[in-house]
């Protein structure tokens, strides 16, 4: 079986590499020519654990190749996956121009018996509309929808051992083709759920909105903890032990960000209205998450007596979460920019050395490790919960800083560790420690 993947971003590249690891012949296509030239040389453009090794292995085995020529890429494929971006438009709706752009370009070159599978997250009704669009333009192409649930930072593991595969199909032909493509997972007893197109499309948005709500809920509980003397880490642990709730996505922090939850909650909130339904819980989640960023700014400003002018602020982590270089909609953007705007001198260390971040924070200084980043700092702010920040030697850090003030927006440290460190410690959802 030959597979083509259009769009070699976080989803397309991982999917292409993993399908080639299953043993299929895969060609990854992108209209970003320099990205494809790098990939051909074995250079992975994103930070994703183990992706480079798996990619090189499959390139060397002759199963994985890259092209920027969409016609050449799709010509021999039995299945063409579309994994281009679907960012938010300014009105909050999903921008489908990349999906339609790709469909338009590839349709004349696809093999008549091949299946077109949309993997990009698209509003309910899009796959059917794409089908209609193809028909209206004289192309008899079977279209299916296959949402992707991988998490950046654990993308290969998630693709290779997902909790489930959801396949929105309308024909036996599509069912058979996708069964073949996912057979390596089917034999591992991973549930494969066949549904209609609309159900598959909505399943993706419903999953992301639910997880975004869960994060937002624990952040609201954190606000209450700060005022009532409870400890949010302990509350999260206690409620997470209940199997009906589960422990995941109950980590407090500066609010959800990234390339999925913000845009997908926003798109769901938008397109549900087209079906005459409002979703107040989703709407409230979006508002609460936006407010969270402001609250985090107030927290930092508050411990700095509302004056950060000329203060040396050491920022640890700027990516929207650990184990990725992705900066899309990261809470750090508005937080750090606010500090910069108010005259702070910002120094950043992020273990991904994110190029995206360097373009965003042009006025910041960058360090190669957490300790150097804190030399002479007036305030240290932990923004992303990278594993290496969990075991910082706080005594060493204390000797390096000018002023022992630690703002931990992920509440990584325990209250006792903070007390012992001698830092004035401001975290989320727990008592303020005077130092």
Ligand X SMILES: NC(=O)c1ccc[n+]([C@@H]2O[C@H](COP(=O)([O-])OP(=O)(O)OC[C@H]3O[C@@H](n4cnc5c(N)ncnc54)[C@H](O)[C@@H]3O)[C@@H](O)[C@H]2O)c1
The residues carrying an active-site annotation are 260
CB atoms within 10 A of CB 46: 21
337 binds ligand X (CB under 6 A): no
Contact between 252 and 217 (Cβ < 8 Å): no
11 binds ligand X (CB under 6 A): yes
265 binds ligand X (CB under 6 A): no
107 binds ligand X (CB under 6 A): no
5 binds ligand X (CB under 6 A): no
354 binds ligand X (CB under 6 A): no
User: Is the CB of 8 or the CB of 421 nearer to ligand X?
Assistant: 8
Taking residues 16 to 55 in sequence order and writing x for each that binds ligand X by CB under 6 A, - otherwise, the string is -------------xxxx--x--------------------
Binding to ligand X (CB under 6 A): which residues in 74-93? 83-86
153 binds ligand X (CB under 6 A): no
User: Is the CB of 159 or the CB of 349 nearer to ligand X?
Assistant: 159
Contact between 126 and 118 (Cβ < 8 Å): yes
- Candidates 10, 261, 386, 425: give the one binding ligand X (CB under 6 A): 10
Shortest Å, Cβ 412 to ligand X: 23
User: Is the CB of 147 or the CB of 404 nearer to ligand X?
Assistant: 147
Tell me how many residues contact ligand X (CB under 6 A): 28
User: Is the CB of 32 or the CB of 49 nearer to ligand X?
Assistant: 32
329 binds ligand X (CB under 6 A): no
Binding to ligand X (CB under 6 A): which residues in 377-406? none
- Candidates 3, 9, 325, 350: give the one binding ligand X (CB under 6 A): 9
Shortest Å, Cβ 92 to ligand X: 14
Rounded CA separation 188/22 (Å): 12
Taking CB positions, which residue lies at the least distance from ligand X? 9
* Contacting residues toward ligand X, per CB under 6 A: 6-12, 29-32, 35, 70, 83-86, 98, 101-102, 105, 120-121, 148, 150, 152, 259-260
């Amino acid at each position: 079986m030959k597979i083509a993947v259009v769009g070699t971003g976080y989803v397309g590249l991982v999917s292409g590499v993993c399908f080639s690891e299953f043993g299929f012949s895969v060609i990854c296509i992108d209209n970003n020519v320099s990205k494809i030239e790098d990939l051909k040389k074995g250079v992975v453009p994103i930070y994703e654990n183990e992706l480079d090794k798996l990619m090189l292995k499959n390139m060397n085995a002759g199963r994985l190749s890259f092209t920027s020529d969409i016609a050449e890429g799709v010509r021999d494929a039995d299945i063409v996956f579309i994994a281009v971006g679907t960012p938010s438009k300014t009105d909050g709706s999903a921008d489908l121009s990349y999906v339609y752009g790709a469909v338009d370009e590839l349709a004349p070159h696809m093999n008549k018996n091949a299946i077109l599978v949309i993997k990009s997250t698209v509003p309910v009704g899009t796959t059917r509309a794409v089908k209609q669009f193809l028909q209206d333009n004289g192309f008899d192409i079977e279209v299916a929808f296959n949402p992707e649930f991988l998490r950046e930072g654990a993308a290969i593991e998630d693709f290779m051992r997902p909790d489930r595969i959801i396949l929105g199909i309308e024909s036996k032909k599509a069912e058979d083709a996708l069964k073949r493509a996912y057979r390596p997972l089917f034999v591992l007893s991973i549930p494969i759920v066949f549904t209609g197109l609309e159900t598959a499309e909505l399943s993706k948005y419903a999953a992301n909105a639910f997880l975004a709500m869960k994060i937002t809920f624990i952040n609201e509980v954190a606000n209450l903890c700060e005022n009532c003397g409870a400890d949010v880490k302990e509350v999260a642990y206690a409620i997470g032990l209940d199997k009906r709730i589960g422990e995941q996505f109950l980590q407090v922090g500066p609010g959800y960000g990234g390339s999925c939850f913000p845009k997908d909650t926003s798109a769901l909130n938008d397109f549900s209205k087209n079906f005459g339904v409002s979703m107040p819980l989703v709407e409230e989640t979006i508002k609460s998450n936006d407010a969270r960023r402001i609250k985090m700014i107030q927290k930092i400003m508050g411990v700095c007596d509302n004056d950060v002018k000329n203060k040396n602020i050491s920022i640890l982590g700027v990516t929207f979460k650990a184990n990725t270089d992705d900066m899309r909609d990261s809470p750090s953007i508005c937080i750090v920019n606010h500090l910069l705007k108010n005259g702070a001198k910002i120094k950043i260390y992020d273990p991904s050395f994110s190029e995206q971040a360097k373009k965003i924070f042009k006025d910041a200084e960058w360090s190669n490790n957490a300790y150097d980043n804190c030399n002479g700092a007036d305030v240290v702010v932990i923004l992303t919960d990278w594993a290496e920040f969990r075991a910082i030697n706080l005594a060493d850090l204390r000797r390096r800083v000018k002023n022992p003030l630690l703002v931990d927006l992920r509440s990584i440290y325990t209250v006792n560790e903070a007390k012992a460190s001698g830092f004035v410690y401001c975290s989320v959802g727990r008592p303020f420690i005077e130092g």
